[in-house]
Structure 1
Amino acid sequence: MNKDLIVVITGANSGIGKKAALTFAKEGYSVVMACRNLEKSKEVFEEILAETKNERVTLMELDVSSFDSIKLFCSHFKKQYEKLDILIHNAAYFNHGSPYQLSADNIELTYATNVFGPYLLTVLLLDHLKRSEDARILHASSNIVKHFFDEKKELALYNLLEEKKKHSVYEMYCNSKMALVILTFKMAEELKKENIMVNAIQINGAKMSKETLQKVTFGWRMIARVQNLFFPPTSYISDSYFHICTSEKLHGVTGQLINDKREIMEPASINPSLKEQIKQLKRSDVYPIYATKRETQQLVWDLCSSLTGRTISGEIKEEKRPSHIL
């Protein structure tokens, strides 16, 4: 039993997050289900309690897109727990057909949920992570980042604070997931001296629930139903979450993107031929070299600290809107 080990899982009320919470609970971990909608999540929470008989499963409110919600969650968490061993950033925003939306902090909702929220949550929980003997952070990315095999493609940041160009949910999701991979690499570098491991998993698809299918437009819903015939169940990915966050084999491994086969991926070659680019799209062992660019990593890092008003050292700084970039 792992009753002394504590894991926080965001978005733990459905899909992969729900299965991950169930897996960790079965293994005896103290599990904090960090969910935006408590009313909706209560039934799932009770299901997990009933199935696992693990009384150390807790449901706490957290909207990852809201900085105030993150701060309140962290305050409550610190009052109940002395440390944190595993932090899984599973929650994500992706809503086909939805209009351009800003978060409570006036940041585009996809980026707020998928990038800046996870950054702030990590920064505010760092002191508790430092108290763990084997602290691990996992970011959930997606194979949608393969669009960045196109050497001309760069992060689209022009719509972060206002809709300056036509909004595309798909494009925003693609960019936010690449930004999350980039953040993983930079954060791993910054936290290595603290012995906190930071990795990301590239999810190549998982079966969508009926509830999730209803969130997408009719055309995409039809495509998703076909994909469901071939995608693995959510438990397949949640088992990978568990492996990456607990395996002795990955002890000390940090700053890596890991595929759903639990293999460490490598950056693609520089200036690949057209033939190589086509092969890359079919492979699951390489990721776009764009994610390794130092200037891009620093750009994402600076955006995170500027927009959240927090540095990795915990310093509180005045939130700035970097208009020269956006």
Structure 2
Amino acid sequence: MFRWIAAGCTGATLLIMIYRKLFTHTAKCLSTRTLAGKVVIVTGANTGIGKTTSQELAERHAKVIMACRDISKGQSALKDIRKNTKNGILVVKQLDLQSQASVRQFCSQILEEESRLDVLINNAGVMGHPFTLTEDGMEIHMAVNHFSNFLLTNLLLDLLKKSAPSRIVFVSSSLHKRGTVDFSMFDKKQKHPYSNSKLANIYFARALSRNLDGTGVRVHTLHPGMVNTELSRHSLSRFMRVLLSPLAWFLLQSSREGCQTVVYCAVSEELDHVTGRYYGKCKEEPWTEIAKENSMCKKLWEVSERLTGIANNVS
């Protein structure tokens, strides 16, 4: 009898998951805006949300600069995108967010080669990476997910302001609610390093939106929800990822579904005259209580300036 009950429960669970996957509503960016003549940078563009975002924006005729740590993987992603659309211009450039020197080199190339930058999408990140210090002496989650984003964004700000109206999009996470920003732990092992770095994204974005008030550069922050990508590759063994892949297909969004809020923040006409807000499922959501700590936004900005060696060039 117990086996029949267990089998029935398992079958019912599978049916519910199939129904949710096939018939429940997923967010969709409904904007039909095209981006001909516009230049967009997408970090982490060789896989997951970054790759599908690059494709969606190329379909809208943008010039998409795919900033990737591994050039060969970036070129492979470009070829995959070209199987689905011939629109837009796709360019792969090397950007390793584990290295501030790489960030500076990338930005130098962009400023030399591009006369405009309409959208900067800070998407790339690491999750569940074993404790590692980068060449700059920082814990890898904070280095990649926050400090390099801080440096990259600030180095490109003048070009974004020159191109206004323009946008900066931060791909954060709802897990920021579990995070803390401890200024004494940037070079030490942390309990929730991914959540901490995603909270840092939010503090940076909120400070940036205030500093850019009146410049025509809009700042939008989002969480994409649970998405079936390679982001968790450091958290699970290859065997476990293969074993759980069918379950992930049922329970998680595809990268195409998961990128919709990113695209929404990058193109939607609804956001033309707003800034400094938070989105999920292509809708505005309220800031969490921890995100509202304005003193933390200010202090993190000041510390980030010092640790990246950049002068404040925000007017």
| Superposition TM-score tier, normalisation by shorter sequence | 0.7 to 0.9
- The alpha-carbon distance between structure 1 residues 194 and 145, as it changes in their structure 2 partners (threshold 3 A), is same
Partner residue in 1 for 2:6? none
Contact preservation (8 Å) 2:62, 2:88:
no
Work out whether 1:217 is the aligned partner of 2:231. no
Equivalent position to 1:175, from 173, 196, 205:
196
- Tell me how far apart the structure 2 counterparts of residues 198 and 123 of structure 1 sit (CA, whole Å): 13
SS in 2 for 1:34: strand
- The alpha-carbon distance between structure 1 residues 225 and 121, as it changes in their structure 2 partners (threshold 3 A), is farther
Equivalent position to 1:202, from 223, 231, 239:
223
Deviation at 1:227, TM superposition (A): 4.3
- Tell me how far apart the structure 2 counterparts of residues 214 and 225 of structure 1 sit (CA, whole Å): 16
One-letter amino acid of the counterpart of residue 305, structure 1: E
Work out whether 1:35 is the aligned partner of 2:52. no
Contact preservation (8 Å) 1:49, 1:55:
no
Equivalent position to 2:171, from 123, 136, 140:
140
Work out whether 1:156 is the aligned partner of 2:176. no
- Tell me how far apart the structure 2 counterparts of residues 22 and 312 of structure 1 sit (CA, whole Å): 34
Equivalent position to 1:262, from 282, 290, 300:
282
Partner residue in 2 for 1:125? 156
Deviation at 1:262, TM superposition (A): 1.5
Partner residue in 2 for 1:303? 303
Partner residue in 1 for 2:44? 11
Partner residue in 1 for 2:271? 250
Work out whether 1:294 is the aligned partner of 2:294. yes
Deviation at 1:203, TM superposition (A): 2.2
TM-superposition CA deviations, 1:5-64 (whole Å, max 9, x none): 010000000000000000111110000000000022211112223432246210000012
SS in 2 for 1:7: strand
Partner residue in 2 for 1:240? 261
Contact preservation (8 Å) 2:61, 2:88:
no
Deviation at 1:145, TM superposition (A): 1.7
SS in 2 for 1:264: strand
- The alpha-carbon distance between structure 1 residues 127 and 134, as it changes in their structure 2 partners (threshold 3 A), is same
Partner residue in 1 for 2:212? 191
SS in 2 for 1:71: helix
Contact preservation (8 Å) 1:213, 1:224:
no
Equivalent position to 1:111, from 122, 130, 142:
142
TM-superposition CA deviations, 1:124-173 (whole Å, max 9, x none): 1111101223210010111112325xxxxx42343312x3xx544xx000
One-letter amino acid of the counterpart of residue 304, structure 2: C
| Unaligned segments of structure 1, at least 5 residues | 149-153, 268-286, 316-326
Contact preservation (8 Å) 1:7, 1:30:
yes
The TM-score normalised by the length of structure 2 is 0.82
- Tell me how far apart the structure 2 counterparts of residues 251 and 295 of structure 1 sit (CA, whole Å): 28
- The alpha-carbon distance between structure 1 residues 8 and 292, as it changes in their structure 2 partners (threshold 3 A), is same
CA-atom RMSD in angstroms: 2.2
Pairing 1:264-283 to 2, within 5 Å after superposition: 264-267=284-287
- Tell me how far apart the structure 1 counterparts of residues 247 and 84 of structure 2 sit (CA, whole Å): 31
Partner residue in 1 for 2:107? 74
State which structure, 1 or 2, has the greater radius of gyration over its C-alpha atoms.
2
- Tell me how far apart the structure 2 counterparts of residues 95 and 147 of structure 1 sit (CA, whole Å): 14
- Tell me how far apart the structure 2 counterparts of residues 23 and 190 of structure 1 sit (CA, whole Å): 30
- Tell me how far apart the structure 1 counterparts of residues 115 and 88 of structure 2 sit (CA, whole Å): 18
**Identical amino acids, percent of aligned pairs:** 27
SS in 2 for 1:32: strand
SS in 1 for 2:120: strand
| Unaligned segments of structure 2, at least 5 residues | 1-33
Deviation at 1:254, TM superposition (A): 0.8
- The alpha-carbon distance between structure 1 residues 202 and 2, as it changes in their structure 2 partners (threshold 3 A), is closer
- Tell me how far apart the structure 2 counterparts of residues 313 and 233 of structure 1 sit (CA, whole Å): 38
Pairing 1:39-54 to 2, within 5 Å after superposition: 39-54=72-87
Contact preservation (8 Å) 2:116, 2:162:
yes
Larger relative contact order (C-alpha < 8 A, sep ≥ 6)? 2
